Amino acid sequence: MVQPEVLAALARETLSHTDPRFVEIYRHALMRTRELFACHQGEVFVLAGSGTLAMEMSLLNTVQAGARILVLSQGYFGDRFAQIAQCYGILVDCLTAEWGRQVAASEVASMLSRNRYRAVTITHVDTSTGVQADLETLVPLIKQHGALVILDGVCASAALEESMSRESGNPASTLDVVLTGSQKAIGLPPGLLVLAMGEQAMAARQAMPTVPAYYGDVLNWLPVMQNPSRYFATPPVNLIVAYETGLEGIFAEGLPARYARHRAQARAFRAAMRSMGFTVLAEEDLAAPTVSCLLYLRGIEDVAFRKALAQRGVIVAGGLAHLQGKAFRLGHLGNVTARELRQAVIAMAEVLQEMGNPVDREPALSAFDGLPE
Ligand SMILES: Cc1ncc(COP(=O)(O)O)c(C=O)c1O
């Protein structure tokens, strides 16, 4: 869902990237981005691109060819880090969880004690499985071993806390890099990448004389991020204006309230789905507040189900990889409201009925009782 004020910001007259009005908006958007991640000591980068480019930049700016990283994968997007690393000659060990589960902390500990890793990548929420990583356990463990923690927040940032602050947490458990794209919980159209790099991550880049990238080299962007009246490559002006508007909406809601709303809505949605007979792939204590992967009831045909839902205005995605045809995914993140999720449940009940699987929708809908609309 993109809010009307964000769409209106996109539709505003396009300013020159050197226009002082735009420079001020960019500066403010960067300041808000720092606040979002409590990135007070490091640097933030808001650029044209998608989450994948941010993943790529997070690796190429911190890890040299020939160095080794550990990828913690709980699904399709975790594996992508390993593919990117291979393109840059970075050596990779990968711990892969069965889809729907987390990587076991004991296995991470064992890998960390046997090898020296420059960085460990974590996918905060893997969009393919709806599983949330256990940052509270993993981050201190990784930091004890001196590796950088790189967090993919594409399906989490602005919906789950991702603090890089040294003051408010234990300095030994600081995230070093957080990256995301504009299109998920930030509630913008796709097109922007957001990359926050802490002090140690920036020091890692500074220590490398060169990196195998030009657009993707954060040192080329640093002067612009410190003073957006400077030029390196033309920024996507309207998207940045819209991003600043979107962030204002996020801060008007308040981060703690926003995180709590996501948790409450997600819990209610999953309860409703279970009550209609679906299985949530992730167990409740691992399930993400942003997206759910739901296994079909026996006999429900995937494409027909999603098509019938789309005709009712509810867009869900199919399962990825081996879950194709067996599961679908629904995003409950960003600006989505409890009312919209309730409507989605009603639409699903109608479609199930149409497909010859009638369900009692009332117990499912009661899961939303007490939530603000
Ligand atoms: C967790 C996660 N990481 C990375 C990506 C890749 O981001 P993008 O599609 O913006 O390149 C996605 C995309 O959905 C994602 O969900």
Task: Give the domain ranges of the chain.
Answer: 4-253, 255-366
Confidence check: pLDDT of 103 > 80: yes
Query: What spacing in Å lies between the alpha carbon of 243 and ligand 1's midpoint?
Result: 18
Contacts of 32 (CB under 8 A, 6+ apart): 244, 247, 248, 251
Residue of minimum CA distance from atom 2 in ligand 1: 154
Q: pLDDT at position 21, please?
A: 98
Structure confidence by residue, pLDDT tens digits, 334-365: 999 999 999 999 999 999 999 999 999 999 99
Structure confidence by residue, pLDDT tens digits, 157-183: 999 999 998 665 555 668 999 999 999
Tell whether pTM > 0.95: yes
Structure confidence by residue, pLDDT tens digits, 240-260: 999 999 999 999 999 999 999
Query: What spacing in Å lies between the alpha carbon of 52 and ligand 1's midpoint?
Result: 6
Query: What spacing in Å lies between the alpha carbon of 1 and ligand 1's midpoint?
Result: 17
Q: Look at the domain 4-253 and name its fold.
A: Aspartate Aminotransferase; domain 2 (3.40.640)
DSSP three-state, residue 242: helix
Residues with CB under 6 A from ligand 1: 50-52, 77, 123, 126-127, 152, 154-155, 181
Of the listed ranges 4-13, 54-63, 201-210, 355-364, the least confidently predicted one is 355-364
177, two tokens: 């890099």
Structure confidence by residue, pLDDT tens digits, 286-310: 999 999 999 998 889 999 999 999 9
Angstrom distance (rounded) from CA 83 to CA 92: 9
Query: What spacing in Å lies between the alpha carbon of 332 and ligand 1's midpoint?
Result: 16
Angstrom distance (rounded) from CA 182 to CA 52: 12
Confidence check: pLDDT of 212 > 80: yes
Mean pLDDT of the chain: 96
Q: Where are the alpha helices (DSSP H) in the chain?
A: 4-10, 20-36, 51-60, 76-87, 105-114, 135-144, 199-206, 218-226, 237-253, 255-275, 302-311, 338-354, 361-366
- To test the ligand 1 pocket, which listed residue (72, 74, 151, 155) has its Cβ within 8 A of the most ligand atoms? 155
Which CATH number is 255-366 given? 3.90.1150.10
Mean of pLDDT values over 9-23 = 97
Angstrom distance (rounded) from CA 92 to CA 77: 15
Query: What spacing in Å lies between the alpha carbon of 58 and ligand 1's midpoint?
Result: 14
Angstrom distance (rounded) from CA 272 to CA 362: 9
Q: Letter for the amino acid at 319?
A: G
